[in-house]
């Protein structure tokens, strides 16, 4: 323990728990960490200042003549901007290149996740694995035509259903080809509203294949290649579309096919889901390929009996980050926390194992785990840790269940090694999660007349003012969960229905915004009325970050249902990531903007050092794609920027008067009729 404390060396300054987070469980665990002299991200955020020039986006380290640093002069630019790097790169070129590299990294992360899922699906289709199956054949049949795969065939002039195994194999092969096919364009692009697809085509931004668009960015942002910020931004669009309408969308679809399409279910959220008398296993990361097996294994009689043999009452699984969302939406496994709570789940002293795969995993977990009995297990060949207390159990889909059992057994064996002091914060909330394009349709009209028109109708008549997608991370530079919750409460108060994913969705569950009862407490009268009638929460949890593809498709369904224009950019809708931190968030933002959505980020954007490039993103893009970027750190102002945009769109659609309608009582109406 003494050595462990040295490694997790305590910073001189420490975070103030109350200003670091609005979540009481988080505050409690930050204080406990400080009492135990264990450093967390919250403390590091107060001791380490971000680089001021990096913050402006104008530090270029793309060659060894640099880093060239081009801060904006204090008084701004007066006259010609003469700043340049050694090679002559302008602030615009540097900021655009840095931005593009974030898009590339984000698109690569989502899409490589998609590739792994597609590879597992190919193994399923080839019958090379027993552990995974096709759980939702209906979804397979629904996506097959988008890959150009027939689901029926003609036999002697008669139309017959095609063999499901044959369809699966063809879909798997066509899906895998999307990453590296030598010619053509991504197949899913045609799922977008037709005017949007035509616009992309005319602008020449249709992605060719997923990998190529990422490689293209890395090439063009190499020293001495693309030195026109507008042309660099154009490639950002191409690569981001390869993510949102490509890799991420394929990931979502094939996960649904193999693990089941989510439908609404009840669960809980926050660290209070951990149980002192159970073996607690926290699953953290992004790819559900492993976590699906862990859930199945943890529910087996064999493992539960083994846990009981060791003195535990059972096995409690909990999620962190998007893996948490994946197992929540399909199995009801409760998330233990968001991105910023990962170290804190171990600080409880009750985490017997934390299993991590890829993305958003802190290396400091190893230092924190060293202070407790917690086994920290990495599972992905691409994501190991240098610290010697970290175990690596490489996961392979060909013996997936075996790997999962080994991990769970290790956690159970570790239960008896717990130290005396276990402190689990009591805070947790009930939530309804598991919404998706299909279930929204069902909720709005049942199986008989399921349709998005009910939603459109309520938008047109003004009960619902508009739609917001609020997604993304936490960021230790901002108050944990405050941006998400303050913003979302302001949106629903103003009758804007919210679709949420990622850590934003976990934050909503944690703070009790994901129940139908939320409507009567926080919503404006119109939205409350609709939610109460239909029985849905005003904030709908649509899954993990790759599931932002569900938001794109939900928006497409709204366009198709009619009455609100012909394209996504016509809709009274806006997007937001109030506490973003990850490169994936930038890729997501860019594909939403390029799909016609006004997208506001919180905290700050690394663009201030290059005002001309910033204007391109914040103003000019709207004239090209119908969507544009914006940034507003204050969550209330942030909400009102989105609402102002929604109102602008309502006006353009000619439905702005609907919101000013007179609400009549039954009595008034009877008088009028008489």
Q: Which residues bind ligand BF8 (CB under 6 A)?
A: 286, 321-322, 339, 360, 472-473, 502-503, 544-545, 582, 584
In the bound state with ligand BF8, the residue whose beta carbon lies nearer, of 472 and 575, is 472
Helix, strand and coil percent figures for the chain, each rounded to 5: 50, 10, 35
Bridge partners, residue 383, by sequence: 380
In the bound state with ligand BF8, the residue whose beta carbon lies nearer, of 238 and 484, is 484
DSSP string covering 526-560, please? HHHHHHHHHT--SEEE--SSTTHHHHHHHHHHHHH
Distance CA 129, CA 264 (A): 29
DSSP helix/strand/coil, 163: coil
* Least distance (Å) between residue 621 CB and ligand BF8: 23
* Least distance (Å) between residue 503 CB and ligand BF8: 3
* Least distance (Å) between residue 163 CB and ligand BF8: 36
In the bound state with ligand BF8, the residue whose beta carbon lies nearer, of 321 and 571, is 321
In the bound state with ligand BF8, the residue whose beta carbon lies nearer, of 101 and 443, is 101
* Least distance (Å) between residue 16 CB and ligand BF8: 22
In the bound state with ligand BF8, the residue whose beta carbon lies nearer, of 286 and 614, is 286
* Least distance (Å) between residue 545 CB and ligand BF8: 3
* Least distance (Å) between residue 353 CB and ligand BF8: 19
- The distance in angstroms from the start CA to the end CA of the chain is 83
In the bound state with ligand BF8, the residue whose beta carbon lies nearer, of 472 and 596, is 472
Q: Which of 423, 426, 366, 476 is nearest to 36 (CA)?
A: 423
In the bound state with ligand BF8, the residue whose beta carbon lies nearer, of 321 and 485, is 321
Q: Chain-centre distance of CA 229, in angstroms?
A: 27
> What b/e string do you get for 157-170 counting C-beta neighbours within 10 Å, with b at 16 or more?
eeeeebeeeebbbb
In the bound state with ligand BF8, the residue whose beta carbon lies nearer, of 315 and 545, is 545
In the bound state with ligand BF8, the residue whose beta carbon lies nearer, of 489 and 584, is 584
* Least distance (Å) between residue 164 CB and ligand BF8: 32
Burial class (CB in 10 A: 0-12, 13-18, 19+), 301: exposed
Going by DSSP bridges, is the β-strand pair 59-60/68-69 parallel, antiparallel, or unpaired? antiparallel
* Least distance (Å) between residue 351 CB and ligand BF8: 18
* Least distance (Å) between residue 583 CB and ligand BF8: 8
Q: Is residue 411 within 8 Å of residue 391, measured between CB atoms?
A: no
Reading the block at residue 666, the tokens are 């039954």
In the bound state with ligand BF8, the residue whose beta carbon lies nearer, of 584 and 641, is 584
* Least distance (Å) between residue 633 CB and ligand BF8: 17
Q: Is residue 423 within 8 Å of residue 32, measured between CB atoms?
A: yes
* Least distance (Å) between residue 576 CB and ligand BF8: 13
Going by DSSP bridges, is the β-strand pair 573-577/466-470 parallel, antiparallel, or unpaired? parallel
Long-range CB contacts (within 8 A, 24+) of 130-133: 131/293, 131/397, 131/399, 131/400, 131/401, 132/258, 132/289, 132/292, 132/397, 132/400, 133/258
- Could you count the other beta carbons within 10 Å of the beta carbon of residue 612? 16
* Least distance (Å) between residue 593 CB and ligand BF8: 17
Q: CA-CA distances (angstroms) from residue 334 to 267, 342, 500?
A: 6, 14, 16
Bridge partners, residue 406, by sequence: none
In the bound state with ligand BF8, the residue whose beta carbon lies nearer, of 34 and 481, is 481
Q: Is residue 27 within 8 Å of residue 578, measured between CB atoms?
A: no
Long-range CB contacts (within 8 A, 24+) of 224-229: 224/87, 226/97, 227/89, 227/90, 227/93, 228/93, 229/92, 229/93, 229/95, 229/96, 229/610, 229/612, 229/613, 229/616
* Least distance (Å) between residue 585 CB and ligand BF8: 6
Q: CA-CA distances (angstroms) from residue 275 to 271, 411, 428, 559?
A: 9, 14, 12, 45
DSSP helix/strand/coil, 497: strand
* Least distance (Å) between residue 339 CB and ligand BF8: 4
Bridge partners, residue 280, by sequence: 316
In the bound state with ligand BF8, the residue whose beta carbon lies nearer, of 544 and 549, is 544
DSSP helix/strand/coil, 424: coil
In the bound state with ligand BF8, the residue whose beta carbon lies nearer, of 147 and 339, is 339
Q: Is residue 329 within 8 Å of residue 263, measured between CB atoms?
A: no
Q: Which of 255, 320, 311 is nearest to 281 (CA)?
A: 320
In the bound state with ligand BF8, the residue whose beta carbon lies nearer, of 149 and 251, is 251
In the bound state with ligand BF8, the residue whose beta carbon lies nearer, of 167 and 508, is 508
* Least distance (Å) between residue 25 CB and ligand BF8: 17
Distance CA 102, CA 113 (A): 17
């Amino acid at each position: 323990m003494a050595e462990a404390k040295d490694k997790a060396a305590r910073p001189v300054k420490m975070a103030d728990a109350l200003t670091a987070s609005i979540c009481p469980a988080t505050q409690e665990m930050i204080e406990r960490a400080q009492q135990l002299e264990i450093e967390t991200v919250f403390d590091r955020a107060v001791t380490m200042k971000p680089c001021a020039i990096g913050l402006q986006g104008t530090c270029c380290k793309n060659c060894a003549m640099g880093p060239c640093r081009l801060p904006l002069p204090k008084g701004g630019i007066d006259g010609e901007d003469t700043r340049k790097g050694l090679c002559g790169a302008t602030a615009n070129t540097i900021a655009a290149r840095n931005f593009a590299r974030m898009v590339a990294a984000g698109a690569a992360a989502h899409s490589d996740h998609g590739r792994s899922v597609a590879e597992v699906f190919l193994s399923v289709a080839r019958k090379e694995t027993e552990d995974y199956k096709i759980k939702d054949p209906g979804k397979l049949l629904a996506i097959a035509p988008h890959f150009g795969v027939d689901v029926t065939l003609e036999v002697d002039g008669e139309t017959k259903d095609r063999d499901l195994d044959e369809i699966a194999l063809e879909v798997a092969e066509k899906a895998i080809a999307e990453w590296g096919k030598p010619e053509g364009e991504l197949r899913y692009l045609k799922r977008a509203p037709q005017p949007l697809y035509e616009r992309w085509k005319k602008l020449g931004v249709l992605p060719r294949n997923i990998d190529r668009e990422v490689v293209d960015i890395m090439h063009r942002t190499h020293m001495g290649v693309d030195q026109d910020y507008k042309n660099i931004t154009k490639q950002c669009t191409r690569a981001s579309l390869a993510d949102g309408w490509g890799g991420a969308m394929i990931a979502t679809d094939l996960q649904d096919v193999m693990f089941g399409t989510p439908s609404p279910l009840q669960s809980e959220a926050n660290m209070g889901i951990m149980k002192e008398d159970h073996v607690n296993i926290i699953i953290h990361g992004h790819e559900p390929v492993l976590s699906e097996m862990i859930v199945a294994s943890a529910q087996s009689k064999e493992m539960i009996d083994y846990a009981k043999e060791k003195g535990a009452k059972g096995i409690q699984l909990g999620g962190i980050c998007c893996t948490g969302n994946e197992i929540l939406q399909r199995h009801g496994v409760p998330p233990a926390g968001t991105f910023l709570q990962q170290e804190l789940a171990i600080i409880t002293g009750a985490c017997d194992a934390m299993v991590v795969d890829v993305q958003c995993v802190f290396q400091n977990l190893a230092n924190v785990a060293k202070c407790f009995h917690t086994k920290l297990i990495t599972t992905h060949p691409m994501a190991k840790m240098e610290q010697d207390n970290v175990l690596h159990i490489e996961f392979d889909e060909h013996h997936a269940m075996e790997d999962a059992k080994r991990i769970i057994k290790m956690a159970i064996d570790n239960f008896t090694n717990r130290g005396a002091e276990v402190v689990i914060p009591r805070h947790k909330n009930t939530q309804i999660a598991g919404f998706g394009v299909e279930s929204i349709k069902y909720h709005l009209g049942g199986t008989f007349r399921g349709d998005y028109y009910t939603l459109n109708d309520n938008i047109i008549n003004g009960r619902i003012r508009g739609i917001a997608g609020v997604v993304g991370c936490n960021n230790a530079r901002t108050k944990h969960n405050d941006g998400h919750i303050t913003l979302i409460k302001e949106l629903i108060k103003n009758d804007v229905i919210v679709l949420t994913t990622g850590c934003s969705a976990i934050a909503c569950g944690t703070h009790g915004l994901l129940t139908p009862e939320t409507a009567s407490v926080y919503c404006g009268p119109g939205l409350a009325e609709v939610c109460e009638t239909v029985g849905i929460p005003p904030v709908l949890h649509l899954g993990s970050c790759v599931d932002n593809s569900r938001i794109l498709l939900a928006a497409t369904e709204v366009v198709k249902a009619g009455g609100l224009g012909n394209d996504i950019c016509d809709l009274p809708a806006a997007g937001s990531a109030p506490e973003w931190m990850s490169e994936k968030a930038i890729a997501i933002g860019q594909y939403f903007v390029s799909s016609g959505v006004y997208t506001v980020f919180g905290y700050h954007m690394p663009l201030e050092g290059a005002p001309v490039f910033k204007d391109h993103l914040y103003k000019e893009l709207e004239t090209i794609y119908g969507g544009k970027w914006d940034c507003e750190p204050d969550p209330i102002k942030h909400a009102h920027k989105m609402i102002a945009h929604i109102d602008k769109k309502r006006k353009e659609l000619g439905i702005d008067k609907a919101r000013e309608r007179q609400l009549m009582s039954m009595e008034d109406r009877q008088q009028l009729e008489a």
